[in-house]
Amino acid sequence: MTKRLILMRHAKSDWGSPDLADHDRPLNKRGRASAPAMADWLREQGYVPDRILCSSAVRTQQTAERMLPRWDTEVAVHTSGDLYLASPERILNSICSDSADADCVMVLAHNPGMQTLVSHLSEENFAFPTAAVAVFELDIDDWSQWRPNEQTRCVAFQRPKAL
């Protein structure tokens, strides 16, 4: 069986309020536009997730909220503080433990962890700008069986500016 993993960095956030904690920064105008554009691209490519593992930061949650209405199917969203500014190892642990029985899982989180993980899994050095998406196929039956790189193929990469 093949599972699909979508790694996405949150859309562009607003730095206009210096007193706002990093965790609480919302999306800016460009981010509010790029999130649905990326959702449309994912839908057109046939990459709509069954489940989203989302950082608890405001900007990641707002990214998910702007994407969900663009899909014709209900997508379960699991919000986790563990994904806020998470290391690649922590992201991998979340994927293996929180993906349940989903066939296509999206992780919506932050750099530098996401860029490092995408580069590691693809075995290429990717720049991973805001709202970028990398799609991987995994030759596994169950998420707990996944051994990164052994069973992992990068099948797509997209960023908003390329649309």
Q: What is the pLDDT along the chain (163 residues), one digit of tens a residue?
A: 789 999 999 999 999 888 999 999 999 999 999 999 999 999 999 999 999 999 999 999 999 999 999 999 999 999 999 999 999 999 999 999 999 899 999 999 999 999 999 999 999 898 999 999 999 999 999 998 888 877 899 999 999 999 8
Annotated binding site: 59
- Map out the domains of the chain with their CATH numbers: 3-162 (3.40.50.1240)
Helix (DSSP H) and strand (DSSP E) numbers for the chain:
4, 6
Annotated binding site for substrate: 59
Q: Return the SS3 of 149.
A: coil
Q: Vertex 49, ends 46 and 50: CA angle to 5°?
A: 125
- Which two structure tokens, joined as six digits, stand for 95? 């994927």
- Is pTM beyond 0.85? Reply is yes
Question: Within 13 Å of residue 56, how many CA atoms lie on the same side as its CB?
Answer: 7
Q: Check: CB of residue 121 under 8 Å from CB of residue 154.
A: yes
Phi-psi region of 119 (alpha: psi -120 to 50; beta: other; left: phi over 0): alpha
- Which two structure tokens, joined as six digits, stand for 146? 């996944």
